[in-house]
Structure 1
Amino acid sequence: MTRVLIALMALLLGGCASQYSISESELENYIEDKVSFETESVRTPLFATETSLNDIKVTLGHKADTMKVAATSKIKISNPIFPLSASIHAEFEAQPYYDPSQKALYLRQLELVKLESEPRELNQALAQITPQAINFLRYFLENQAIYRLDTKQWDQATLAKMTKQVKVTPGYISFVFKE
């Protein structure tokens, strides 16, 4: 009986369709609206740092089944000798995957592909703090769902039950629900 209902719902969702897709802009909007960005602070007797994630851009499918995430992190270092503020722009490539138990997309195998800081004259001073900022971004991006199906909506609840995997193509992530 359950399989008959699921099959009927699949027909209602899209006839012969076997997937549901979201675009780069839909994914960026979701991340902006739904994913929590927290500020990280580290304090020692000699200095304090604050790191915050301020901007995320998504590029889908520039490589097979790969997603590029560009993120800007603001860093403020407080110390009595040389206080500074800077930003670090990092680009990661990752493979999105669907976790059926969470009904959500996550990223795995994050690799840093580009790193720039502003102002550029501070690269040497930032060299000591940059690994902390990159680790913060990597941890954040690997442990936050980047998209979660809304199981309170009938069509997405059905999709959540039927999705087997995701496929990344230029500009889109598709939730594949037929094998």
Structure 2
Amino acid sequence: MRIFLFVVTLLLTACSSTQGISVYSFTNSEVESVLNQQLPKLKKEVSLMGLPVDFEVNSLQVNIGPDKREVVVLGFDSNAKINALLFEYPVRLALQIEGSPFYDSSKKAIFLRDIRLLYSSIDAGGFKGNLSLLNGEAMSVINNFLAANPVYKLDTSNPRVALLSKIPLNMKIREGKIELIPSL
């Protein structure tokens, strides 16, 4: 009986000491780092209008919680080569998208959903403009990629993070960072 009371007291103390305290957070630059590691997977998946595309991201920008909104904005500046009829056509693409982050406790990762295209431009063979003709297909590629690849994954090799990941977590979006807080 004493052991049971001791364990309950410890749990209650732990719950009251972590209530409302941010125990784990990550920033724009940490999400950029994870996404840069994921980009080789995107390169394998890209095809536009059924044509194979050699895709390379020149720069990636992440903006968590801009204007105090609960979204993550991703900006890509990239080069692509579309292979058609034995020719390569160089294309420069710039995209900016936003999505709502959510924590998947089973995968211990943050994913984006409700992806929305904010800006797109293309520079190909003298043509400059937006991607309006390709928006649907480009967004399909992006949605498929982000559905399968998290923008951030908890490092469960860290004992503190592994323990934290075993309890229910709430997520708060702040300008420049995401916080995971125990929901006990």
| TM-score clears 0.5 | yes
Give the structure 2 partner of residue 26 of structure 1: 30
Pick closer, same or farther for the CA change 1:132–1:76 going to 2, 3 Å.
farther
Give the structure 1 partner of residue 116 of structure 2: 111
Could you tell me how far 1:38 is from its partner in structure 2?
3.3
1:161 aligned counterpart, secondary structure: coil
* TM-score, normalising length: structure 1: 0.77
The Cα offsets for residues 90-123 of structure 1, whole Å up to 9 and x where unpaired, read as: 1111110001111110001100010011248325
The reply on whether 1:133 has 2:141 as its aligned counterpart is no
Could you tell me how far 1:52 is from its partner in structure 2?
2.4
Partner Cα separation in structure 2 for residue 3 and residue 150 of structure 1: 29
Among candidates 52, 55, 77, match of residue 52 of structure 1: 55
Among candidates 161, 167, 172, match of residue 162 of structure 1: 167
Could you tell me how far 1:148 is from its partner in structure 2?
1.0
1:151 aligned counterpart, secondary structure: coil
AA matched with 1:113: L
Give the structure 2 partner of residue 75 of structure 1: 80
1:70 aligned counterpart, secondary structure: strand
The reply on whether 1:172 has 2:170 as its aligned counterpart is no
Q: How much is the aligned-residue C-alpha RMSD, in angstroms?
A: 3.5
Pick closer, same or farther for the CA change 1:145–1:101 going to 2, 3 Å.
same
Partner Cα separation in structure 1 for residue 107 and residue 46 of structure 2: 29
Pick closer, same or farther for the CA change 1:87–1:37 going to 2, 3 Å.
farther
Partner Cα separation in structure 2 for residue 92 and residue 37 of structure 1: 19
Could you tell me how far 1:25 is from its partner in structure 2?
1.0
Among candidates 151, 157, 160, match of residue 152 of structure 1: 157
* TM-score, normalising length: structure 2: 0.75
Structure 2's unaligned 5+ residue stretches are: 1-6
Could you tell me how far 1:159 is from its partner in structure 2?
1.8
Partner Cα separation in structure 1 for residue 128 and residue 32 of structure 2: 29
Give matches, 1:89-108, under 5 Å. 89-108=94-113
1:157 aligned counterpart, secondary structure: helix
CA contact (8 A) 2:46 2:141 kept: no
Could you tell me how far 1:142 is from its partner in structure 2?
2.8
AA matched with 1:97: F
**Identity score, percent:** 22
CA contact (8 A) 1:19 1:178 kept: no
Partner Cα separation in structure 2 for residue 35 and residue 89 of structure 1: 15
Partner Cα separation in structure 1 for residue 72 and residue 20 of structure 2: 27
Partner Cα separation in structure 2 for residue 160 and residue 18 of structure 1: 14
Partner Cα separation in structure 2 for residue 132 and residue 16 of structure 1: 42
The Cα offsets for residues 58-93 of structure 1, whole Å up to 9 and x where unpaired, read as: 101114211101123433222349741102111111
